[in-house]
């Protein structure tokens, strides 16, 4: 039953996230087609990132701390304490967000100089105007994060997974119909409306989990004080992770026009498989890990972590190789149209090459950080994040001199590897039950299978794509790329079969349970 619920939750999360991500790509495609990789797009990219970074500095920290605390109340069946704590956290977070927004609006010019020191003149003024328009999104993003934490702690994943769908639909419509007529400022107003749509969607889901509005803000609540204590280290970890992106964009702002935009476009491609496959698995497992840790069921927690790490490795390894080998084709298929020309494609593909090297450690880091949080340890991910940020900044400053914007992407990947391996080492040293030998074996198996896949794709790529040339049409390029992806997938799966990888049987079992829901569970289950 537990496996069935996990499979169904992950499958639904992946489906909704896939729709949202595809719409996100459609949004980026429309933006690229209308404005290209230009100074205007650079200005929007920087402005869009500012509220995201400021929200991540507060909202994500609160959300991460909320899930274990609220999940513990749910596990004990104490619904009164659950509701009281949830709404206390809501009002406290809202107050913090309003204060943060006020300070950000007052210092908007300073923020633009911080995020894009290379912008001057008209580009600086445009970025500042766009930032002023989108900054109120901080409040909407914070409330969205709070709702996600509350719903996930109750193992309700549908609404949080669907929040990007209305936002992307709004942005696609605004960019295409209003951006072409009124310019990039119309897109900024559409972005703000998109942030608001996420709040509307999730608010309706709160009543379904038994959470009607309660006007309470109990400053003396011991859980609130505990949340404040735990939030500070998580806040530092989130700030440092975002700070490295700020430095990257600042460095890119001093490079040739389009560099910041190409990094943003490539980063979205890089995040696609992580958002579709890795993050859903981590998100669905987080409440389970929190309950296992709260019940001191360390063996169960250890088994969950190890299985998840192996599964993430087998998923991410071939996707990493595929993104590296087919980076130009993938970029061209997604973006190359309208104002986005071949040079923009090559710039973005270069960034994608180096970002892709960080897919596996990114997935590992997300899971291991959640494992630390579920154990009540918020300091270790914080120190890990600060050290990773420092490493990323140093590497970016060094590599950008020789590799341009590609060096920035490579620095991010290398720092992510360090962060993931460091968290793994600290967990192993602190908790003897966590043994990563199965992960080492799985990583070797994944490497062998990925190597076989890469050889097959590389051998077929030249003859198949060479005949098309760089100006191939959308349909033939799509068909050829899909053939390469299909061949790679078949070779990879055959290699896993030959190696006897046990996750193959687990995936088959989960898929079978998800597709063949027992009649009894259909009557009593809630999906």
User: Could you say which DSSP state residue 358 is in?
Assistant: T
Q: Which of 170, 175, 165 is nearest to 19 (CA)?
A: 165
Q: For the residues 502-521, what does the mean pLDDT come to?
A: 49
200-224 pLDDT, tens digit per residue, is 878 878 877 778 888 888 787 787 7
Give the pLDDT score at 420. 93
Give the pLDDT score at 1. 42
CA dist., res. 114 & res. 443, Å (int): 40
**Residue 515: which pLDDT band, with cuts at 50, 70 and 90?**
very low
- Burial code of 451-468, b = ≥16 C-beta within 10 A, e = fewer? ebbbebbeeebeebbeee
524 burial class (0-12, 13-18, 19+ CB within 10 angstroms)?
exposed
pTM of the model: 0.68
Q: For the residues 73-87, what does the mean pLDDT come to?
A: 79
Q: For the residues 301-308, what does the mean pLDDT come to?
A: 83
CA dist., res. 316 & res. 367, Å (int): 13
On the question of pLDDT at 83 being above 90, the answer is no
Six token digits for residue 198: 């996420």
> Residue 214 CB: number of other CB atoms within 10 A?
14
21: enclosing H helix or E strand: helix 2-35
On the question of pLDDT at 278 being above 90, the answer is no
User: Could you say which DSSP state residue 254 is in?
Assistant: T
CA dist., res. 387 & res. 186, Å (int): 39
102-122 pLDDT, tens digit per residue, is 998 998 888 888 888 878 888
Which residues have a Cβ under 8 Å from the Cβ of 305 and sit 6 or more positions away? 289, 367, 368, 371, 427, 434
Q: Which of 348, 465, 337, 477 is nearest to 409 (CA)?
A: 348
> Residue 281 CB: number of other CB atoms within 10 A?
21
376-421 pLDDT, tens digit per residue, is 787 888 788 888 888 888 898 888 888 888 889 999 999 999 999 9
3-state secondary structure 299-313: HHHHHHHHHHHHHHH
**Residue 242: which pLDDT band, with cuts at 50, 70 and 90?**
low
Q: For the residues 155-180, what does the mean pLDDT come to?
A: 84
> Residue 218 CB: number of other CB atoms within 10 A?
14
């Amino acid at each position: 039953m537990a496996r069935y619920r996990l499979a169904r939750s992950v499958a639904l999360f992946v489906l909704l996230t896939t729709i949202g991500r595809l719409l996100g790509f459609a949004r980026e495609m429309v933006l690229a087609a209308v404005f290209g990789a230009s100074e205007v797009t650079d200005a929007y990219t920087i402005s869009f990132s500012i509220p995201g970074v400021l929200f991540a500095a507060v909202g994500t920290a609160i959300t991460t701390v909320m899930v274990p605390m609220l999940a513990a109340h749910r596990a004990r069946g104490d619904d009164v304490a659950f509701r009281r704590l949830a709404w206390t956290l809501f009002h406290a977070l809202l107050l913090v967000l309003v204060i943060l927004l006020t300070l950000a609006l007052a210092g908007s010019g300073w923020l633009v100089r911080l995020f894009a020191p290379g912008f001057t003149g008209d580009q600086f003024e445009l970025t500042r105007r766009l930032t002023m328009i989108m900054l109120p999104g901080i409040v909407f993003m914070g409330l969205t994060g709070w709702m996600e934490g509350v719903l996930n702690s109750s193992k309700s994943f549908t609404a949080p997974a669907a929040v990007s769908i209305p936002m992307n639909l709004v942005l696609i419509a605004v960019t295409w119909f209003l951006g072409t007529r009124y310019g990039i400022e119309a897109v900024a107003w559409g972005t703000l409306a998109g942030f608001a749509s996420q709040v509307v969607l999730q608010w309706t889901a709160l009543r379904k989990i038994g959470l009607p509005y309660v006007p309470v803000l109990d400053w003396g609540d011991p859980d609130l004080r505990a949340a404040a204590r735990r939030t500070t280290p998580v806040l530092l970890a989130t700030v440092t992770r975002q700070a490295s992106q700020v430095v990257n964009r600042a460095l890119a702002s001093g490079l040739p026009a389009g560099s910041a935009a190409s990094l943003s476009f490539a980063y979205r491609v890089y995040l696609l498989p992580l958002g579709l496959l890795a993050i859903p698995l981590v998100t669905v497992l987080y409440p389970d890990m929190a309950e296992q840790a709260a019940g001191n069921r360390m063996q169960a927690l250890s088994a969950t972590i190890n299985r998840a790490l192996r599964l993430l490795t087998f998923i991410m390894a071939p996707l990493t190789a595929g993104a590296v080998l087919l980076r130009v084709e993938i970029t061209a298929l997604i973006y190359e149209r309208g104002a986005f020309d071949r040079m923009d494609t090559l710039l973005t593909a270069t960034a994608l090459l180096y970002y892709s090297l960080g897919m596996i450690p990114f997935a590992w880091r997300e899971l291991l950080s959640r494992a630390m949080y579920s154990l009540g340890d918020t300091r270790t991910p914080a120190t890990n994040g600060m050290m990773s940020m420092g490493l990323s900044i140093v590497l970016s400053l060094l590599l950008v001199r020789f590799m341009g914007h590609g060096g920035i992407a490579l620095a991010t990947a290398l720092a992510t590897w360090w962060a993931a391996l460091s968290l793994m080492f600290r967990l192993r040293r602190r908790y003897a039950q966590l043994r990563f030998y199965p992960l080492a074996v799985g990583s070797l198996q994944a490497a062998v299978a990925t190597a076989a896949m890469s050889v097959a794709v590389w051998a077929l790529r030249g003859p198949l794509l060479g005949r098309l040339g760089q100006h191939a049409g959308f349909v033939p390029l799509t068909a050829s790329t899909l053939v390469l992806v299909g061949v790679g997938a078949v070779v990879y799966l055959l290699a896993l079969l030959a190696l006897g990888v046990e996750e193959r049987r687990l995936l088959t079992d989960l898929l079978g349970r998800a597709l063949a829901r027992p009649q009894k569970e259909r009557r009593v289950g809630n999906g």
